[in-house]
Amino acid sequence: MAVQIGRLGDLSVLAVIGVLFAIALPVDAETLEFESRQRRPVKEQSLRDHVTAQTMRWQPEQTAVVVCDMWDQHWCQGATRRVAEMAPRMNEVLKSVRDAGGLIIHCPSSCLDDYRDTPQRQLAIQAPKSEVKRPLEAWCHLDFGREGSLPIDDSDGGCDCLPACPHGAPWTRQIDTLEIGAGDAITDSDEAYHLMKQRGITNVLVMGVHTNMCVLGRPFSIRQLIYQGMNVVLVRDLTDTMYNPRMHPFVNHHTGTDLVVEHIERHWCPTTTSDQLIGGEEFRFQSDHRKQLVAVIGEQEYHTNRTLPDFCRRMLASDFRLRFVYADESDGNHFPGIEAVADADVLLLSVRRRLLKQPQLAVIRQYVSDGKPVVAVRTSSHAFSPRSGTVEEGRDMWPEFDAMVLGGNYQGHHNNKLPSDPLTFVHADADQRTHPIMKAVRPDEFPVASWLYKVSPLAPSTLPLVWGRVKGREPREPVAWTNEAESGSRVFYTSMGHPEDFRLPAFQRMLTNAVHWAAETQESKAIR
């Protein structure tokens, strides 16, 4: 039960602490069960990750929530507004965990004077010193040996306002939206760790601001707690970064937060979202209008496991929440984390002749059945079509995907291994140069590295946008087109996708336009 914090009167500190300790440890507490997200490299030293889910089951009496620096005011007014917007949802989570029997630790750094006589403050002060795995630090700096550099440049302080706000320290207390319960604690130091050890707490949910700074470095937060062997999970939708989109990597502010969250998942701890804890929907800031793009990548010939993520991060990261699903290195027919496709707003596909387990391919089938948009490149025309008709038990194929979804008719490719080079030339359809996908794409003929696919005739539901020819040969073949699948899916396909194609501005522009066309969104940046 959340109540207003009170002052210590005639009741002794120890007596109050004893009462609060009893309140925080209900005998019949229910298990806190939620899904967390974690990352692991697809192989050693790889920069690509498998992103998978794991169900956590924590006992409330062994669980704490650390609320990091949710001040009443920040020096950046944009940050202040986002904290205020996020606080009501955070308060709901705190109530739920508190009612279940978890300990809430409020950590408004350098703002403790106003709380010094409260039982919640005394609760933290009275915690006895405990043994540590390594010396506790007042600030845990970037650990280059473990995590390298952060993925964003916050050297300017991270204010995204125009003009930038003057630096300062205007905070005076925690934002009042967050209720402080009778059994909660208040601190801004390693007292939090000692209190958790006193309680036998081994599990910690971290929320608050800012992810790239205090959430990682404070003495009560992620790095410190991980160093001490605690089980830590960041609540990723109840956090924010200090990041200015005018700084590297020059992406949407919320994408900057996503990049830091991915960094934490890779190097420090799993994450979860508030809906996993209290139901409802994941919290999103009102200014975050990005749709979710999930790229499923499983082919070796054209190295799209490198080119496609690089393209997405460079061309689409400001307008989409990005998620990459890779084929497993040891089993190319297994795609860890493919369940993310179910929540995608647009699917970007680059797969070649894979036989997925039935539940995994069922995710793709259901996505298409739901009429959601698909953008596919190169070998995706035979994504789920084996060379032989033999399929081992438990796996599935979908040879009709090309005709049914893409509207194509893949029949192999022209031989490109002739002495003269280049051999393949493409050009925009003369009648479709005003199509949204062809905006700012060069209209004249130009050479490409991709071998020309034999795909004619296409389905009547398609609209060819780009044609290709092999030097000295006829006939020409469609190279890029749109289709409306029977399910209603808005589809774009191109047989281009060679690594050298990704270097071409015309291809980059066409594929960028295609993703926006499929998702029915507008590009937020000027055309590059």
Domain segments of the chain as ranges: 31-278, 291-519
* Residue in the block written with tokens 């698909």: 374
With both helix axes pointing from N to C terminus, report the angle between 304-315 and 505-519 in degrees, rounded to the nearest 10: 70
254 to 86, 92, 290, 406: CA distances (angstroms): 13, 22, 9, 32
Give bridge partners of residue 427 from the DSSP assignment. Answer: 467
Query: Is residue 416 scored above 90 in pLDDT?
Result: no
Cα 233 vs. chain centroid, distance in angstroms? 15
> How large is the average pLDDT for residues 373-389?
92
Q: In this structure, which amino acid lies at residue 493?
A: Y
Report d(CA 350, CA 401) in Å as an integer: 13
Render pLDDT for 37-64 as a digit per residue (tens, 0 to 9): 999 988 877 778 889 999 999 999 999 9
Alpha helices in 213-303 (DSSP H): 214-217, 222-227, 253-267, 274-278
Closest CA to 14 of 179, 128, 131: 128
> How large is the average pLDDT for residues 228-234?
98
- Average pLDDT score, the chain: 91
CATH number of 31-278: 3.40.50.850
pLDDT at residue 236, as a whole number: 98
Report d(CA 174, CA 70) in Å as an integer: 6
Least confident of 10-19, 80-89, 130-139, 377-386: 10-19
513's CB contacts (< 8 A; 6+ apart) are 436, 437, 438, 439, 440, 441, 523
Query: Is residue 270 scored above 90 in pLDDT?
Result: yes
- Whether 31-278 shares its CATH topology with 291-519 is answered yes
Report d(CA 336, CA 518) in Å as an integer: 25
Query: Superfamily assignment of 291-519 in CATH?
Result: Class I glutamine amidotransferase (GATase) domain (3.40.50.880)
The answer to whether 441 and 513 have CB atoms below 8 angstroms apart is: yes
Query: Is residue 445 scored above 80 in pLDDT?
Result: yes
**Buried/exposed 414-441: b ≥16 CB within 10 Å, e otherwise:** bebeeeeeebbbbbbbeebeebebbbeb
Render pLDDT for 507-516 as a digit per residue (tens, 0 to 9): 999 999 999 9
Read off the tokens for 400.
């009709």
Read off the tokens for 463.
């609209």
**% of residues, the chain, pLDDT over 70:** 91
Closest CA to 348 of 318, 387, 394, 313: 313
